[in-house]
A and B are shown apart, each in its own frame.
Chain A
Amino acid sequence: MTEKPVLTLKDLSIEFPTPQGVVQAVKALSLDIHKGRRVGFIGESGSGKTTTALAVMQMLAEPGRVAGGTIDLGGTNVLDLDEDQMRRTRLSRVAYIPQGAMNSLNPVMRVEPQMWDGIIAHEGKLDRAELKRRSDAALESVGLPQHTADLYPHELSGGMKQRVCIAMGIILNPELIIADEPTSALDVVTQRQVMQTLKAIQSEIGSGLMLIGHDMGLMAQTVDELAVLKDGELVEHGTVQQILEAPKHPYTRDLISSVPLVGGESFLNPDARAKAPERASAEPLLRFEDVRKNYGAVTALHPMSFTLQGDTPQIISIVGQSGSGKSTMGSIMLGFNPPSEGRVLFEGQDVARMSAAQSLDFRKNVQAVFQDPYACFNPFYRVNHALKFPFKQFGLAKSDAHTQTAMEEACDAVGLDPDLVLNRYPHQLSGGQRQRLIVARALMLSPKLLIADEPVSMVDASLRASILSNIYDLKDKYGISILYITHDLATAYHVSDYVMVLFKGHVVEAGPPKEVIGAPQHPYTKLLIDSIPWPDLHRSWGDGRQDWDPVKLEAEAAKARSIYRGIVPGFDLQEA
């Protein structure tokens, strides 16, 4: 590679002065990005990947500053540019595609004038026909129909908005495109489509691409080179092939192994099967009788009936995209959200019609782990409040010392050091620690049923496997039945005894995971599985084909009949 690189970072250091002292966000990072190459920056939150990108754009948030090193953008030292020169450099030479496309577009402007803004700012006033020609060309290149130009952002779907952002980014043919987790808010099907668009357009204009992300699978399917960052340091850099096949740094190995594969090795330990606790009632643990949920005219959940016996602990997975009705099911089971029709029975008792005592008993026996570990703790209290309070409330505490030992045991069980975490405030803990504490909280109460609603989707990738195995162990060690709600088919494949695939409020395929996810038959399940990026270089996932059209595939899926696969004892789903 003799050509001059598009971007050269040399000994780049970035620091943030804070009350606790200066934080080194990026430490002596050196890296080249060549023309036409796609370089992935991978690392956990706080590893400095976004900070590096913002430094290239000279958009570091106050009080951060570049402490040392140089940023060379195709021969220009970015750090020497003044504010006005930098403004002209942005977009024309470096384009930035932000994380939340839904918030990046002006909601009161149509798409077209927003695209023109960039051109006018850099090239002065052009005539309307020329502007129109260029914005149409940009939209076409990201595979959006012409009429998109006249729409307002709220009329577009998340994936379309992200593609509009890409179109705006490339409209001036920049030398470098920086894409900061461009698909993190999108579901897998849309993610695949957006990444394909991005790859296609990048190779078309031949610019360098800096893709920031935390998903090893997505990286493997998208980029040519990978830079692994940890705590602001570049720990490993090489081609994807090198890194995936022979990772040198232990952190890289962790990242690769933390991606669960369908059919791959399980990350769970299969031993220690406990018996379910003796159940006093012969009634099934949980029963849905023709449960239906409407939000106004929209039916979020079509009538569904199933029975979870609960004599042997089982994990039932409910998978689907956002909007499939899976979280609605979760809140109906918890009694937060009454069903529009039908009944939910817990041990033979209608959840909606319970006396105060029965309700307290139901609360003790049905616990939950929610998606957002940041919101689950009251910021006013130390975290032990969240563990102590329910323990006392349900009359499980014999004395304060007993509560303390129970908390410490629960922390140990999820792999946390009780002395370190229990007396902290929530903001002092990481997302992973908080989510484990929520699992520990559930464990202390020893419920009969645990509803885990996307428990790991907001946690760093390297921690996902360990938190899931914490939850999995609950089932075996403590005999808790678990309903696992997720969009992640690979984890569902490993942890569950039975899988239901939801699509627009209907169950489209259900059965044991080895059959449903291992060998899908329903077109929708196939579509979902095809869309998951795996760290497997030989898969044709994001090869830039434009003929892969999820809209058409979804329409086909909607016509297909539901498929019921094998039966698992203890769980009975009634065929609709």
Chain B
Amino acid sequence: MKNGSITTILAGCMGMALSAALFAAPALAADKTVKIGNVEPLSGPSASVGVQGKQAREMAIEEINAAGGIKSLGGAKLELVYADSKSDPTVGVTETERLINTEKVNLLTGCWNSAVTYPATQVAERYGIPFVVPVAVRDTITERGFKNVFRIAAKDSWWVRDQFRFLKDMQEETGVKLQKIAFVFENGDWGTGFAEKWRELAKKDGYEIVLDEPYPSTATDLTPVVTKLKAAKPDIVMLVSNAADAILLTNTMAEMQVKPKVVLASGGGHADPKFLENTDTNALGIFDEVEWNTDVNKPAAKPANEKFKKKYGYDLTGESVDAYVAMYVIADALERAASTDPAKIREALAATNLTTGPGMIVSYDGVQFDETGQNKNAGIVIVQVANVDGKPERVTVWPKAARRAGYVPAFPANK
């Protein structure tokens, strides 16, 4: 074995050298297209959100190209290049390198998972390629002093801040006083990040924390958590859940007849198109915090959603709207930059002030980045699952200005 084994390494290495020579073939840069690289989870545990983001991007790009592309670049068309991160940071980095060096993309977007966004934006920062992050909510993403990272979605401290504002506003509006609060969250990057800030704000607002419960997102049974919740008798239950556990939790709570006065979720699993399908009437009364809802008060929103639903068979979600808007933000920046030079695109992105146009279907007034690259206007709405014409539907209730006309929120949802 001895000699043979060493030398077989050789044979292998030579094969590798050959294939390496094949890699070296240069990519042909076509004229008049701007390439946008997208790192998204297209397989693996978060594949369904990855595909939703992909479809939203495609619709936006079709619209932009149909309207004549980037005029300052002689009508250049936008082209999307996708890379699958599998929700794995290692893969995300390899793919970001590939998009920058082999595909020669002019700018990047992605990655939905915070865990992939951290290292992928680091790669982009090294090369000085602008990176627009539609979603990935961890605060730290825009707090590392990076020059090339721009985020459309609100960051998690804002999400939590608005959840507590909502609770306060609603208690004032209805005159109901709620005291005991419970936290139930998935034990991942996202859930633990939210919980950390919940504790701070709950203390500040004078709530009594009666339960602070992380659960493994792969749990087979959430009955123990719900049993605990039942014993703690909270007025308010705050949730962070992924798709599967949101369904399991909602159905288990109904089965165990746990009916807190207010259940407030944080999007994600609760905002997934599959959620209502799988929970049906068990979900009635739940409040959910999202960036967008189909009934949002913007003229372009309704036609955009109808077009999307016709094309792909489901409603736009907050996260896909972020992806959709990101394409319009990019198109706007390219128009002003009048160049495909990354540094110029970066400057144009930093100066973004997009308030009008077909892409502005968001719930807030416009996209503008602060010095860290965070969209400082990014807003959030809170919806309630209500019975509309005999079917559970998500109805916007907060902020009050955005509330669906004629809807009176059930607050508390249970007595």
Q: Do A and B come together as binding partners? A: no
Binding site for B on A (CB under 8 A): none
